Amino acid sequence: MTRRLGSGTLVIATHNAGKLKEISALLEPYGVKCISAGSLGLPEPAEDGTTFVQNAMIKARAAAEASGLAALADDSGLSVDALDGRPGVYTADWAERQWFEGEPGRDWYMAMGKVEGLLAQKGADINRSAAFHCVLAIAWPDGESAVYEGLCPGSLTWPPRGELGFGYDPVFVPDGKNQTFAEIDPAQKHASSHRADAFAKLVAEQFGS
C-alpha cells in the first residue's frame, strides 16, 4: 500500500505564489497545510530530466531532503503527436526569449507560433492531435515517493482563440469540445484539465477510504 500523507505540513516545491495558492486550496479540505519551497529559502534544482516524471521527482526530492518534510512537486507540458511528443518537457523553454529578442522572459505567442510552423511544414492534412500532461510527485525525506500522472487529450487549432487561458491554452481544444482552453470558463477548465486528472488520482490514493 502506498504511504499516505495524512494531515500536517507539506512543502510545495515551487517559488510561484500562484501555484502555491492553487495547490493549497485543493489540499485544504484534507487537513494539509502547504508552504512553498520559496518561503523556506530553498534553491531551485536543475530540471535536467528527460520526462515529466523525472523532473517532478527531481523537484520533490530536493525539497524533501532540504526541508526534512514531505514535499509535492508537479511538472507539466504539451506533447504534439506529429512532432514526436515535442515540446514535452521543454514546453516552457520553447517560450523563452533569447537575449537578442529583447527583455528576458517568456513569449507564449512565439511558442505557439513555433509549434504551428513545424506542423505547417508537414502539410495541411497533418494530424493535429496533442495532449497536456501533468505529473504530481510526492517525496518523503527517507526516500519514499509516489507519482500521479494526469492527461488531457485534444487537438491544436490556429490561429489562437480566447483571452482566459495562459501558455498554449489559446490553441488547444480538448476532446469533446469546440472551444479552446482560453475560451472556456476557468472553473470548467480546471475541472477537466490534466492537473485535475492527476489530483483526482492523488486524492483517491492518499485520502480515500
Residue 144 cell numbers, joined:
519514499
Is 75 one of the catalytic residues?
yes
Q: What secondary structure letter does DSSP report for 86?
A: -
List the beta bridge partners of residue 131. Answer: 79, 153
Do residues 109 and 94 touch, judged by C-beta distance below 8 A? no
Q: Closest Cα partner for 52 from 127, 151, 123?
A: 151
Do residues 179 and 36 touch, judged by C-beta distance below 8 A? no
Query: Can you tell me the distance from the alpha carbon of 162 to that of 179, in angstroms, rounded to the nearest whole number?
Result: 9
Q: Return all residues near 125 (Cβ < 8 A) that are at least 6 apart.
A: none
Residue from 75, 107, 125, 185 carrying the catalytic annotation? 75
- Positions marked catalytic: 75
